[in-house]
Structure 1
Amino acid sequence: MLRRLLSWSFAAAIYSVTGAPVLAGDCQRTRVDLRGSWGETGFSVEIADDEQERAQGLMFRESMPRGAGMLFVYDRPQPAAFWMKNTLIPLDIIFLDQSGQVTSVHENAEPGDLTPIPGGDQVFAVLEINGGLARRYGISAGTQMRHEIFSDSSAVWPC
Protein backbone atom coordinates (compact mmCIF):
# COMPACT_ATOMS: atom_id res chain seq x y z
CA MET A 1 0.00 0.00 0.00
CA LEU A 2 2.79 2.43 0.90
CA ARG A 3 4.57 1.67 -2.40
CA ARG A 4 1.32 2.32 -4.30
CA LEU A 5 0.81 5.65 -2.51
CA LEU A 6 4.41 6.72 -3.10
CA SER A 7 4.29 5.91 -6.82
CA TRP A 8 0.89 7.61 -7.03
CA SER A 9 2.25 10.74 -5.32
CA PHE A 10 5.40 10.74 -7.48
CA ALA A 11 3.42 10.46 -10.73
CA ALA A 12 0.98 13.13 -9.57
CA ALA A 13 3.88 15.42 -8.65
CA ILE A 14 5.52 14.98 -12.06
CA TYR A 15 2.21 15.64 -13.80
CA SER A 16 1.41 18.75 -11.76
CA VAL A 17 4.90 20.18 -12.25
CA THR A 18 5.28 19.47 -15.96
CA GLY A 19 1.63 19.62 -17.03
CA ALA A 20 2.39 16.70 -19.36
CA PRO A 21 1.23 13.11 -19.10
CA VAL A 22 3.60 10.80 -17.26
CA LEU A 23 5.09 8.39 -19.81
CA ALA A 24 2.68 9.55 -22.49
CA GLY A 25 1.92 6.88 -25.07
CA ASP A 26 2.39 3.97 -22.67
CA CYS A 27 -0.61 2.12 -21.27
CA GLN A 28 -0.08 1.36 -17.63
CA ARG A 29 -2.38 -0.27 -15.11
CA THR A 30 -1.96 2.64 -12.71
CA ARG A 31 -2.66 5.43 -15.22
CA VAL A 32 -5.54 6.69 -17.35
CA ASP A 33 -5.36 9.25 -20.14
CA LEU A 34 -8.34 11.26 -21.33
CA ARG A 35 -8.73 13.27 -24.52
CA GLY A 36 -11.32 15.41 -26.20
CA SER A 37 -11.62 18.55 -28.31
CA TRP A 38 -10.24 20.39 -25.26
CA GLY A 39 -6.91 18.47 -25.33
CA GLU A 40 -5.51 15.68 -23.14
CA THR A 41 -4.94 15.02 -19.46
CA GLY A 42 -4.09 12.02 -17.32
CA PHE A 43 -4.40 10.67 -13.80
CA SER A 44 -2.54 8.14 -11.69
CA VAL A 45 -5.17 5.70 -10.49
CA GLU A 46 -5.82 2.98 -8.00
CA ILE A 47 -7.85 0.14 -9.49
CA ALA A 48 -11.01 -1.18 -7.82
CA ASP A 49 -11.85 -4.29 -9.81
CA ASP A 50 -13.46 -6.63 -7.32
CA GLU A 51 -16.59 -6.32 -5.21
CA GLN A 52 -14.78 -5.50 -1.96
CA GLU A 53 -12.55 -2.81 -3.52
CA ARG A 54 -15.51 -1.23 -5.34
CA ALA A 55 -17.53 -1.18 -2.10
CA GLN A 56 -14.68 0.56 -0.21
CA GLY A 57 -13.81 3.03 -2.98
CA LEU A 58 -12.48 6.31 -1.66
CA MET A 59 -14.35 6.20 1.64
CA PHE A 60 -12.71 7.74 4.71
CA ARG A 61 -9.99 9.52 2.73
CA GLU A 62 -9.39 13.07 3.87
CA SER A 63 -7.60 14.15 0.68
CA MET A 64 -6.38 12.95 -2.69
CA PRO A 65 -3.58 14.40 -4.85
CA ARG A 66 -4.84 16.54 -7.73
CA GLY A 67 -3.46 14.20 -10.40
CA ALA A 68 -4.89 11.05 -8.79
CA GLY A 69 -8.11 9.08 -8.88
CA MET A 70 -9.72 5.68 -8.60
CA LEU A 71 -10.82 3.57 -11.55
CA PHE A 72 -13.69 1.17 -10.84
CA VAL A 73 -13.81 -1.70 -13.34
CA TYR A 74 -16.64 -4.19 -13.87
CA ASP A 75 -16.49 -7.62 -15.50
CA ARG A 76 -19.10 -6.59 -18.06
CA PRO A 77 -21.27 -3.54 -18.85
CA GLN A 78 -24.06 -3.21 -16.29
CA PRO A 79 -26.31 -0.72 -14.52
CA ALA A 80 -24.32 1.25 -11.94
CA ALA A 81 -25.03 3.97 -9.42
CA PHE A 82 -22.69 5.51 -6.84
CA TRP A 83 -23.26 7.30 -3.55
CA MET A 84 -21.01 9.26 -1.23
CA LYS A 85 -21.53 7.36 2.03
CA ASN A 86 -18.46 7.83 4.26
CA THR A 87 -16.73 9.81 1.51
CA LEU A 88 -15.08 12.90 2.95
CA ILE A 89 -14.03 14.78 -0.20
CA PRO A 90 -16.10 16.08 -3.13
CA LEU A 91 -15.64 13.95 -6.24
CA ASP A 92 -16.35 14.11 -9.94
CA ILE A 93 -17.74 10.73 -11.00
CA ILE A 94 -17.07 9.85 -14.64
CA PHE A 95 -19.00 6.92 -16.15
CA LEU A 96 -17.61 5.04 -19.18
CA ASP A 97 -18.86 2.41 -21.60
CA GLN A 98 -16.92 -0.66 -22.73
CA SER A 99 -15.24 1.24 -25.58
CA GLY A 100 -13.67 3.76 -23.19
CA GLN A 101 -16.00 6.62 -24.05
CA VAL A 102 -17.37 8.83 -21.29
CA THR A 103 -21.15 8.53 -21.21
CA SER A 104 -21.87 10.90 -18.32
CA VAL A 105 -20.19 12.99 -15.64
CA HIS A 106 -21.55 13.87 -12.22
CA GLU A 107 -19.64 16.91 -10.95
CA ASN A 108 -18.86 17.68 -7.32
CA ALA A 109 -20.69 14.83 -5.63
CA GLU A 110 -21.38 15.97 -2.09
CA PRO A 111 -19.45 14.20 0.68
CA GLY A 112 -21.67 12.00 2.84
CA ASP A 113 -24.72 12.25 0.54
CA LEU A 114 -26.65 8.97 0.35
CA THR A 115 -28.55 9.91 -2.82
CA PRO A 116 -27.75 7.41 -5.60
CA ILE A 117 -25.90 8.90 -8.59
CA PRO A 118 -26.97 6.85 -11.62
CA GLY A 119 -24.43 6.22 -14.36
CA GLY A 120 -26.63 4.38 -16.83
CA ASP A 121 -27.39 0.80 -17.82
CA GLN A 122 -24.17 -0.05 -19.71
CA VAL A 123 -21.43 1.12 -17.33
CA PHE A 124 -18.14 -0.73 -17.73
CA ALA A 125 -15.85 1.59 -15.74
CA VAL A 126 -16.07 4.63 -13.49
CA LEU A 127 -13.34 7.16 -12.79
CA GLU A 128 -13.48 9.21 -9.59
CA ILE A 129 -11.32 12.34 -9.41
CA ASN A 130 -11.30 15.39 -7.18
CA GLY A 131 -14.43 17.51 -7.47
CA GLY A 132 -14.18 20.33 -10.01
CA LEU A 133 -11.46 18.78 -12.18
CA ALA A 134 -13.83 17.45 -14.86
CA ARG A 135 -15.06 20.98 -15.54
CA ARG A 136 -11.56 22.45 -15.30
CA TYR A 137 -10.20 20.03 -17.92
CA GLY A 138 -13.34 19.84 -20.08
CA ILE A 139 -14.12 16.18 -19.39
CA SER A 140 -17.68 15.46 -20.51
CA ALA A 141 -19.80 12.91 -22.40
CA GLY A 142 -17.87 11.94 -25.52
CA THR A 143 -14.42 12.27 -23.94
CA GLN A 144 -12.24 9.23 -24.67
CA MET A 145 -10.19 7.28 -22.13
CA ARG A 146 -7.11 5.16 -22.75
CA HIS A 147 -6.29 2.36 -20.31
CA GLU A 148 -5.37 -1.30 -20.67
CA ILE A 149 -8.95 -2.36 -19.86
CA PHE A 150 -9.99 -0.75 -23.17
CA SER A 151 -7.64 -2.64 -25.43
CA ASP A 152 -9.96 -4.72 -27.60
CA SER A 153 -11.16 -3.84 -31.11
CA SER A 154 -14.06 -1.73 -29.80
CA ALA A 155 -11.79 0.70 -27.93
CA VAL A 156 -12.11 4.32 -29.07
CA TRP A 157 -8.50 4.95 -27.96
CA PRO A 158 -6.69 1.60 -27.77
CA CYS A 159 -3.36 0.97 -26.07
Structure 2
Amino acid sequence: MSTRRAILVGIAGLFIVAGCAVAGGQTGPNGEPLEALTVTTASGEHKFMVEIADDETERQRGLMFRDPLPDDRGMLFQFPDVTERGFWMHNTPSSLDIIYIDPRGRIVSIAPNAKPQSDDIIPSNGPASGVLELRAGRAAEIGAKAGDRVGHPFFAE
Protein backbone atom coordinates (compact mmCIF):
# COMPACT_ATOMS: atom_id res chain seq x y z
CA MET A 1 0.00 0.00 0.00
CA SER A 2 1.35 3.40 -0.90
CA THR A 3 2.07 5.97 1.77
CA ARG A 4 -0.57 8.30 0.35
CA ARG A 5 -3.23 5.58 0.37
CA ALA A 6 -2.28 4.58 3.94
CA ILE A 7 -2.70 8.18 5.06
CA LEU A 8 -6.12 8.43 3.36
CA VAL A 9 -7.27 5.16 4.93
CA GLY A 10 -6.04 6.41 8.33
CA ILE A 11 -7.91 9.72 7.95
CA ALA A 12 -11.10 7.90 6.91
CA GLY A 13 -10.77 5.71 10.01
CA LEU A 14 -10.46 8.78 12.23
CA PHE A 15 -13.69 10.20 10.79
CA ILE A 16 -15.49 6.92 11.43
CA VAL A 17 -14.24 6.78 15.03
CA ALA A 18 -15.13 10.44 15.61
CA GLY A 19 -18.60 9.86 14.18
CA CYS A 20 -19.16 6.89 16.47
CA ALA A 21 -18.05 8.89 19.51
CA VAL A 22 -20.53 11.68 18.73
CA ALA A 23 -23.36 9.24 18.02
CA GLY A 24 -22.78 7.40 21.31
CA GLY A 25 -23.51 10.32 23.64
CA GLN A 26 -26.25 12.81 22.93
CA THR A 27 -25.44 16.47 23.27
CA GLY A 28 -27.42 19.68 23.36
CA PRO A 29 -27.22 22.57 20.89
CA ASN A 30 -24.08 23.97 22.51
CA GLY A 31 -22.36 20.60 22.88
CA GLU A 32 -23.43 20.09 26.49
CA PRO A 33 -24.12 16.50 27.54
CA LEU A 34 -27.72 15.37 27.90
CA GLU A 35 -29.02 13.08 30.65
CA ALA A 36 -31.98 10.71 30.64
CA LEU A 37 -35.06 11.68 32.64
CA THR A 38 -38.51 10.09 32.84
CA VAL A 39 -41.89 11.46 33.81
CA THR A 40 -44.33 8.77 34.93
CA THR A 41 -47.99 9.71 34.57
CA ALA A 42 -51.28 7.80 34.40
CA SER A 43 -50.55 7.34 30.67
CA GLY A 44 -47.18 5.66 31.30
CA GLU A 45 -43.48 6.46 31.37
CA HIS A 46 -42.32 9.31 29.13
CA LYS A 47 -38.61 9.60 28.33
CA PHE A 48 -36.70 12.84 27.83
CA MET A 49 -33.10 13.86 27.33
CA VAL A 50 -32.35 16.95 29.40
CA GLU A 51 -29.65 19.54 29.76
CA ILE A 52 -28.63 20.12 33.37
CA ALA A 53 -28.50 23.58 34.94
CA ASP A 54 -26.77 22.95 38.27
CA ASP A 55 -24.79 26.11 38.91
CA GLU A 56 -25.90 29.72 39.24
CA THR A 57 -24.67 30.80 35.80
CA GLU A 58 -26.46 27.94 34.03
CA ARG A 59 -29.63 28.48 36.07
CA GLN A 60 -29.66 32.21 35.27
CA ARG A 61 -29.22 31.59 31.51
CA GLY A 62 -31.62 28.65 31.27
CA LEU A 63 -33.24 28.50 27.84
CA MET A 64 -32.85 32.19 27.04
CA PHE A 65 -32.29 33.03 23.36
CA ARG A 66 -32.91 29.40 22.33
CA ASP A 67 -34.98 27.75 19.62
CA PRO A 68 -38.09 25.80 20.70
CA LEU A 69 -37.38 22.45 22.35
CA PRO A 70 -38.08 19.18 20.51
CA ASP A 71 -40.73 16.93 22.10
CA ASP A 72 -38.16 14.66 23.78
CA ARG A 73 -35.88 17.38 25.19
CA GLY A 74 -35.88 19.62 28.23
CA MET A 75 -33.79 21.37 30.84
CA LEU A 76 -33.57 20.26 34.46
CA PHE A 77 -32.65 22.98 36.95
CA GLN A 78 -31.07 21.51 40.08
CA PHE A 79 -30.93 23.50 43.31
CA PRO A 80 -28.97 22.68 46.48
CA ASP A 81 -31.91 23.63 48.71
CA VAL A 82 -35.65 23.06 48.95
CA THR A 83 -37.77 26.21 48.96
CA GLU A 84 -40.52 28.07 47.15
CA ARG A 85 -39.30 28.82 43.65
CA GLY A 86 -40.24 31.38 41.05
CA PHE A 87 -39.26 31.38 37.38
CA TRP A 88 -39.72 33.90 34.61
CA MET A 89 -39.46 33.84 30.81
CA HIS A 90 -37.13 36.83 30.38
CA ASN A 91 -35.38 36.60 26.96
CA THR A 92 -36.98 33.21 26.32
CA PRO A 93 -38.53 33.35 22.84
CA SER A 94 -40.72 30.25 22.94
CA SER A 95 -43.40 29.18 25.38
CA LEU A 96 -42.51 26.48 27.93
CA ASP A 97 -44.17 24.25 30.50
CA ILE A 98 -42.48 24.83 33.87
CA ILE A 99 -42.68 21.82 36.19
CA TYR A 100 -41.67 22.25 39.84
CA ILE A 101 -40.40 19.08 41.55
CA ASP A 102 -39.78 18.16 45.20
CA PRO A 103 -36.62 16.36 46.41
CA ARG A 104 -38.31 12.94 46.12
CA GLY A 105 -39.09 13.53 42.44
CA ARG A 106 -42.79 14.31 42.86
CA ILE A 107 -44.31 17.09 40.78
CA VAL A 108 -45.34 19.98 43.04
CA SER A 109 -47.02 22.08 40.35
CA ILE A 110 -47.05 22.75 36.62
CA ALA A 111 -47.17 26.17 34.97
CA PRO A 112 -48.33 25.33 31.43
CA ASN A 113 -47.64 27.47 28.38
CA ALA A 114 -45.57 30.14 30.13
CA LYS A 115 -45.71 33.38 28.16
CA PRO A 116 -42.52 34.02 26.11
CA GLN A 117 -40.40 37.07 26.97
CA SER A 118 -42.39 37.74 30.15
CA ASP A 119 -40.81 39.08 33.33
CA ASP A 120 -43.78 37.92 35.43
CA ILE A 121 -42.72 35.54 38.20
CA ILE A 122 -44.32 32.09 37.97
CA PRO A 123 -44.48 30.61 41.51
CA SER A 124 -43.97 26.97 42.42
CA ASN A 125 -46.82 27.01 44.98
CA GLY A 126 -44.82 24.68 47.20
CA PRO A 127 -41.22 23.83 48.11
CA ALA A 128 -39.15 22.48 45.21
CA SER A 129 -35.53 21.48 44.62
CA GLY A 130 -35.84 20.88 40.89
CA VAL A 131 -37.53 22.51 37.92
CA LEU A 132 -38.10 20.85 34.57
CA GLU A 133 -38.75 22.95 31.48
CA LEU A 134 -40.39 21.30 28.46
CA ARG A 135 -41.87 22.54 25.20
CA ALA A 136 -45.18 24.30 25.87
CA GLY A 137 -48.08 21.86 25.88
CA ARG A 138 -45.89 18.80 26.39
CA ALA A 139 -46.93 18.29 30.04
CA ALA A 140 -50.61 18.14 29.00
CA GLU A 141 -49.80 15.80 26.09
CA ILE A 142 -48.30 13.24 28.48
CA GLY A 143 -50.98 13.83 31.12
CA ALA A 144 -48.58 15.18 33.77
CA LYS A 145 -50.11 16.49 36.98
CA ALA A 146 -49.12 17.33 40.55
CA GLY A 147 -48.03 14.17 42.39
CA ASP A 148 -46.66 12.41 39.30
CA ARG A 149 -43.10 11.08 39.46
CA VAL A 150 -39.98 12.46 37.77
CA GLY A 151 -37.15 9.93 37.58
CA HIS A 152 -33.57 11.22 37.52
CA PRO A 153 -30.54 10.56 39.78
CA PHE A 154 -30.88 14.08 41.24
CA PHE A 155 -34.08 13.05 43.03
CA ALA A 156 -34.10 10.65 45.97
CA GLU A 157 -36.16 7.50 45.43
TM more than 0.5:
yes
Correspondence for 2:118: 113
Mean Cα displacement is larger for which, 123-132 or 111-120?
111-120
Correspondence for 2:4: none
Q: Give the letter for the 1:96 counterpart.
A: I
Deviating 4+ runs (over 2 angstroms): none
Deviation, 1:121, is: 4.3
Deviation, 1:100, is: 0.3
Q: Percent identity?
A: 38
Q: 1: CA distance between counterparts of 2:130 and 2:109?
A: 11
Larger Rg: 2
Deviation, 1:75, is: 0.5
Deviation, 1:87, is: 0.2
Mean Cα displacement is larger for which, 115-124 or 129-138?
115-124
Q: 2: CA distance between counterparts of 1:139 and 1:45?
A: 17
Deviation, 1:62, is: 2.1
Aligned length: 130
Q: After superposition, where does 1:51-70 map in structure 2 within 5 Å?
A: 51-70=56-75
Deviation string 1:43-102 (CA, Å, 9 cap, x unpaired) is: 100000111100000000022222100000000212210000000111000000010000
Q: 2: CA distance between counterparts of 1:124 and 1:99?
A: 9
Q: 1: CA distance between counterparts of 2:64 and 2:121?
A: 15
5+ residue gaps, structure 2, are 1-21, 29-33
Quote the RMSD (CA, aligned, Å).
1.8
Matched, 1:40 2:59: no
